[in-house]
């Protein structure tokens, strides 16, 4: 009696500690559970870019409805409001005012920014050539628009500065603001100061945009609509959806389970007590995750539904097989059935343990949560639950159900050769679909709905801001060194553009040349006296009066004396935000990022870009394609998941072999499980589902959970009909829990559910059909 | 397509000047304007040669260029400069092709509002689309159908094109003038139209 009290006491104490840990744990529902930990420096840079890079801070705002003029008015109003808020580092809507600020900056600093400024250009011959070219441009159609600045910029330095930006795929404009391709929406580009991975800050930014939009609409009295896209919008929506779904799915599967158990037990006490191991397991699981990982991912809680399916089985075995408090307390069930349950529990632990080394934080958490949860639930069932049963405890006798099931199975067993056909058929289907079996896109795990992805693609295309794209990364110890590296990298990149291998590229050095380069350009400029003398000679025969070029001479002299352009000089232009995105501090060093634009006739040949950099050893550059890199990273982890699943399977087999001490008996347990996995994989392929990482994990769970059933059949039981009934009930609980998960709109949860729900059912069926003797016909082994 | 920004003071002064000029000259475009539009609309296509003179502060004499201007209803417009330096501006709907110095750029007209002002003025006039012109420009009408002058001032503030002046006799356009800031302007003299 004392030991019993001690067991309950220890349980209560541990539960109390776990409850405190759960209450104090940090919970996160952002998307980082879907972003793998990255081992190499390049992959760390990639994940860092995805989480915190400039692209992660971008929000696209689309104003629809009303008239074009009303949309433009709202766009202008919205931009003004948002620019006044500190949380936004840049707000662009294509307005002429913003364009004028950018133009004014480039014009004011044209001699320090122009790549054409060399000593040669300012010789008599150089001046004559460049001025001649400028006059040619002015005579071309539309050239008159540049004519007003002729006396300030006769060498066409502004053309050179703008030319360095390449042909700009500028967004369309209607009524003076950016619009989508169809012209039916006004567009704004908004950059937040906080990174995209800071979901709380993104949620506040989105709320601020909505509020500003409502005010703008109220002022204009237009019936306009608002749509937003971008990583922040996705993160916030996904968090809301994951949180909503986790709560909804947990409540739903919990309710369904209660109904199932109420029908089975017809006892309120049994119903309440059945939840004790489940609740203990969940509590222990969350506490263990909080202890080990610091942060509990919302998705882990969603996966946690899976635990309910497994943990409730233990109490089902106890209640159904022993039926009364007396029998449960008595050592009979513990002697005959517990070793089987225990072994099943350990095979499950083996399966879950295989997930621990996963590079996906979400999976590692799932493994740890389920492992501790299953152990806790099993131990509570064995040592605590019997002590809690009231003396009068009794559940409905499920023997009739067991007997009925046994008869049905007996009939089915006659046709068990069909299973060979099933196995062959499944293998044929899988072979036939071998090319399209796997989904190798990281996006497959993304909880962002298709419609939202399409909207994002459409708005990005209209604005010319690719989502991921190709990138040259240059690292250096200081900001200036990174800028100098970017300047050296421009040489091979310009050559690639000239050869048509690239459409263009961006570089932080376009907006902010290194101090060294600016100094060189200043030194290339002649003094006012020298320039005047050279101009007189250079302009002979040209229709330009040297006496009228005083503004030019003064501008060159100013540029010679000017302090170099620095980050502060960019304030108020759109280049400031662009620079901050392209020149980033990364720990102790600086990275210059040079996004590449594809040529008009197809994608970028990255091998050629790499080769170009290989030929210029002065530049140590990393060339990467963010999307491809992300997918490759994912493919690596897909491979890793397959390996982990196989390792888990191997661990299960080894454990079974060690306990059963017979290859044949081990095979009998494993065969139905393998067949169930095969059938589910083939069925998914037939339904056109491309397998993701979570399907693989689901297959591992089929083995982990199904091994319980197979073991009961293999080891036999003292009360075969009751055992069969308990297995049926336990299986129904599992299928129910995972079936609910399969209805989720979050892909990771759905993939897991749609694999395990049918897999668990098939595992039981196959185990029953492949059992050495008809269920109920075998003596305890 | 590109232009240096202009000092604020100059801009304001210029805007004032344009307004003063406009106050005297602008008269509501009425019946003769509508008749002109009908005449132009009836002519579906045409090709003319042009001689363009560009004037700007600092130039001792205008920059002269020449070439071919062609229009085909509803929205094909091309201005091909042949001399002194070949360059082309070709429009089909919103699709703009710019060829100069061996380079070809395919661009969307709506991404270049300044060019769009010029193209819209020309294309809507040649197509006889009075309604579209009224939406985009403040229109001044002078003279008679046999000898008319049109001034088109962009309604959109901040356009670098300050004004476009067209003159002609009946359906024949004889002169196009594009005025930018600080007195910079290009004047195109057109030959009599030939069949395309």
pLDDT tens-digit map of A401-413: 888 888 888 888 8
The predicted structure's pLDDT at residue B17: 40
Classify residue B139: in a domain, yes or no: yes
Percentage of chain B lying above the pLDDT 90 cut: 47
Q: Give pLDDT, residue A537.
A: 93
Most confident of A440-454, A624-638, B123-137: B123-137
**Neighboring chain A residues of B59 at a CB cutoff of 8 Å:** 150, 543-545
B195 domain-assigned = no
| pLDDT above 50 (res A96) | yes
Measure the CA dihedral B33/B37/B39/B45, to 10°: 150
Determine, for residues A141 and B110 on separate chains, whether the beta-carbon distance falls below 8 Å: no
Cβ under 8 Å to B: A residues 516-545: 543-545
pLDDT score recorded for residue A354: 87
Would residue B1 count as lying in a domain? no
- Average the pLDDT over A768-775 and give the result: 73
Does the distance separating the beta carbons of B54 and A548 come in below 8 Å? Answer: no
| Strand partners for A691 | A438
Q: What is the predicted ipTM?
A: 0.80
Q: Which residues of B touch A168 (CB under 8 A)?
A: 111
Assess if residue A407 is contained within a domain: yes
Q: Give a yes or no: residue B46 inside a domain.
A: yes
Residue B160 lies in a domain: yes
The mean pLDDT of A443-460, rounded to a whole number, is 78
The answer to whether residue B171 is domain-embedded is yes
Give the angle A538-A541-A544 at the CA atoms, nearest 5°.
70
CA distance A27 to A295: 6
Tens-place pLDDT, residues B166-176: 999 988 999 99
Please indicate, yes or no, if residue B3 is contained in any of the structural domains.
no
Helix (H) or strand (E) holding A107: helix A96-108
Chain A residues with CB-CB distance to B112 below 8 A: 170
Using pLDDT thresholds of 50, 70 and 90, give the confidence band for residue A157: very high
Across the interface, whether the CB atoms of A168 and B157 are under 8 A apart is answered no
- The pLDDT > 70 percentage for chain B reads 82
| Confidence (pTM) | 0.69
Q: How much is the pLDDT for B16?
A: 41
Using alpha carbons only, what angle is made at residue A163 by residues A159 and A167, rounded to the nearest 5 degrees? 130
Domain interval for residue A650: 2-30+235-432+630-770
- Distance from the Cα of B54 to chain A's closest Cα (Å) equals 6
A162 touches chain B (CB under 8 A): yes
Answer yes or no: is pLDDT of A162 > 60.
yes
Give the mean model confidence (pLDDT) for residues A310-327: 79
Predicted local distance difference test score (pLDDT) of residue B8? 42
pLDDT of residue A165: 67
Q: Dump pLDDT digits (tens) for A241-284.
A: 877 887 888 888 888 888 988 888 888 888 888 888 988 998 99
Residue A776 lies inside a defined structural domain of this protein: no
> What's the number of domains chain B is made of?
1
Q: Which domain holds residue B76?
A: 8-190
Whether residue A173 and residue B52 make contact (CB cut-off 8 A), yes or no, is no
Kindly state the greatest CA–CA separation across chain B. 48
Q: What is the pLDDT of residues B21-65, one digit of tens each?
A: 333 333 445 688 889 999 999 888 889 999 999 999 999 999 999
Residue B20 reports pLDDT greater than 90: no
pLDDT, tens digit (0-9, with 9 covering 90-100), for A326-372:
665 566 777 778 888 888 889 888 888 988 888 777 778 888 998 99
For residue A513, give how far its alpha carbon lies from the nearest alpha carbon of chain B (Å). 21
Q: Is residue B14 part of a domain?
A: yes
Evaluate if residue A111 carries a pLDDT over 90. Answer: yes
Name the DSSP letter for residue A697.
H
> What does each C-alpha distance from A389 to A319, A322, A334, A488 come to in angstroms?
10, 12, 15, 78
Poorest-confidence range of A486-495, B29-38, B39-48, B66-75?
Answer: B29-38
User: Where does the pLDDT of residue A468 fall: very low under 50, low under 70, confident under 90, or very high at 90 and above?
Assistant: low
Specify the number of domains making up chain A. Answer: 1
| A467 pLDDT above the threshold of 60 | no
Output the 3-class SS for A424-486.
HHHHHHHHHCCCCCECCCHHHHCCCCHHHHHHHHHHHHHHCCCCCCEEEEEEECCHHHHHHHH
Say which CATH number the domain at B84 has. Answer: 2.50.20.10
Is the predicted pLDDT of residue B10 greater than 60, yes or no? no
Q: What is the C-alpha radius of gyration for chain A, rounded to an integer number of angstroms? A: 35
């Amino acid at each position: 009696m004392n030991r019993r009290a001690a067991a309950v006491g220890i349980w209560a104490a541990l539960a109390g500690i776990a409850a405190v840990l759960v209450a104090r744990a940090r919970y996160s529902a952002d998307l980082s559970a879907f972003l793998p930990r990255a081992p190499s420096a390049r992959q760390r840079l990639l994940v860092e870019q995805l989480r915190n890079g400039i692209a992660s801070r971008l929000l696209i705002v689309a104003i629809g409805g009303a008239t074009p003029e009303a949309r433009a008015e709202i766009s202008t109003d919205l931009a003004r409001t948002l620019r006044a808020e500190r949380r936004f580092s840049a707000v662009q809507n294509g307005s002429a005012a913003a364009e004028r600020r950018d133009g004014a900056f480039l014009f004011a600093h044209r001699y320090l920014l122009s790549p054409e400024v060399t000593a040669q250009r300012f010789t008599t011959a150089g001046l004559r050539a460049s001025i001649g070219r400028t006059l040619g441009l002015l005579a071309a159609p539309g050239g008159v628009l540049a004519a007003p600045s002729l006396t300030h910029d006769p060498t066409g330095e502004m053309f050179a500065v703008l030319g360095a930006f390449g042909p700009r795929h500028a967004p369309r404009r209607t009524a003076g603001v950016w619009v989508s391709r169809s012209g039916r929406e006004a567009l704004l580009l908004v950059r937040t100061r906080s990174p995209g991975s800071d979901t709380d800050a993104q949620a506040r930014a989105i709320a601020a945009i909505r509020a500003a939009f409502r005010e703008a609409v109220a002022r204009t009295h237009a019936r306009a609509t608002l749509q937003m896209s971008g990583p922040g919008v996705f993160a916030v929506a996904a968090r809301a959806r994951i949180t909503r779904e986790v709560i909804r799915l947990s409540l739903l599967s919990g309710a369904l389970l209660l109904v199932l158990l109420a029908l089975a037990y017809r006892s309120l006490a049994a119903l309440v007590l059945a939840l004790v191991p489940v609740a203990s397991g969940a509590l222990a699981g969350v506490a263990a995750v909080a202890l080990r990982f610091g942060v509990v991912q919302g998705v882990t809680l969603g996966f946690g539904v899976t635990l309910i399916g497994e943990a409730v089985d233990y109490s089902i075995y106890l209640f159904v097989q022993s039926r009364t408090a007396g029998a449960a307390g008595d050592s009979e069930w513990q002697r005959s059935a517990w070793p089987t349950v225990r072994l099943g529990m350990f095979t499950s632990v083996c399966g879950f343990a295989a997930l621990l080394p996963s590079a996906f934080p979400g999976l590692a958490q799932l493994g740890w949560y389920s492992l501790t949860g299953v152990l806790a639930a099993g131990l509570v069932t064995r040592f605590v639950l019997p002590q809690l049963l009231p003396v009068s405890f009794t559940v409905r006798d499920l023997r009739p159900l067991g007997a009925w099931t046994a008869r049905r199975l007996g009939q089915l067993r006659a046709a068990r050769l069909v299973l060979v056909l099933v196995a062959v058929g499944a293998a044929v289907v899988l072979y036939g679909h071998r090319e399209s079996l796997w989904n190798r896109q990281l996006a497959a795990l993304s909880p962002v709905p298709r419609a939202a992805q399409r909207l994002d693609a459409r708005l990005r295309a209209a604005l010319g801001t690719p989502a991921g794209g190709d990138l040259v990364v240059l690292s250096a110890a200081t900001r200036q060194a990174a800028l100098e590296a970017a300047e050296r990298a421009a040489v091979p990149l310009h050559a690639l553009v000239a050869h048509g291998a690239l459409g263009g590229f961006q570089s932080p050095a376009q907006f902010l040349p290194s101090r060294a380069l600016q100094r060189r350009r200043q030194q290339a400029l002649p003094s006012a006296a020298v320039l005047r003398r050279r101009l007189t000679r250079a302009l002979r025969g040209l229709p330009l009066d040297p006496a009228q070029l005083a503004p030019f001479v003064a501008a060159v002299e100013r540029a010679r004396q000017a302090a170099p352009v620095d980050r502060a000089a960019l304030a108020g232009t759109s280049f400031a935000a662009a620079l901050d995105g392209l020149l980033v501090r990364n720990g102790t060093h600086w990275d210059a990022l040079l996004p590449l634009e594809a040529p008009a006739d197809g994608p970028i040949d990255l091998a050629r870009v790499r080769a170009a950099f290989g030929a210029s050893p002065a530049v140590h550059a990393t060339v990467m394609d963010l999307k491809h890199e992300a997918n490759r990273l994912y493919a690596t982890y897909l491979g890793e998941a397959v390996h982990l699943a196989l390792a888990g399977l191997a661990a299960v087999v080894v454990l079974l072999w060690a306990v059963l001490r017979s290859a044949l008996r081990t095979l009998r347990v494993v065969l139905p499980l393998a067949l169930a996995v095969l059938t589910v994989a083939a069925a998914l392929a037939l339904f056109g589902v491309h397998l993701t990482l979570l399907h693989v994990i689901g297959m591992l769970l089929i083995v982990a959970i199904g091994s319980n059933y197979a073991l009961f059949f293999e080891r036999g039981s003292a009360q075969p009909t009751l055992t069969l009934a308990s297995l049926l009930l336990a299986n129904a609980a599992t299928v129910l829990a995972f079936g609910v998960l399969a209805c989720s709109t979050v892909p990771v949860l759905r993939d897991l559910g749609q694999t395990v729900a049918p897999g668990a059912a098939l595992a039981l069926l196959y185990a029953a059909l492949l059992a050495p003797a008809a269920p109920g016909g075998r003596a305890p082994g | 397509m590109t232009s240096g920004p202009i000092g604020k003071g100059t801009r304001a002064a210029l805007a004032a000047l344009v307004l003063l000029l406009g106050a005297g000259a602008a008269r509501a475009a009425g019946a003769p304007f509508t008749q002109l539009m009908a005449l132009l609309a009836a002519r579906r296509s045409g090709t003319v040669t042009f001689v363009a003179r560009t004037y700007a502060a600092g130039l001792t004499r205008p920059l002269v260029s020449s070439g071919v201007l062609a229009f085909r209803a509803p929205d094909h417009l091309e201005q091909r400069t042949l001399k002194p330096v070949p360059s082309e501006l070709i429009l089909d709907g919103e699709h703009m092709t710019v060829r100069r110095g061996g380079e070809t750029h395919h661009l969307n007209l709506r991404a270049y509002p300044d060019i769009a002002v010029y193209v819209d003025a020309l294309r809507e006039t040649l197509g006889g689309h009075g309604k579209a012109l009224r939406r985009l420009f403040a229109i001044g009408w002078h003279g008679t159908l046999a000898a008319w002058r049109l001034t088109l001032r962009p309604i959109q503030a901040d356009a670098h094109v300050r004004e476009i002046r067209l003159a002609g006799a009946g359906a024949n356009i004889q002169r196009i003038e594009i005025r930018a800031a600080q007195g910079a302007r290009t004047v195109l003299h057109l030959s009599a139209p030939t069949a395309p």
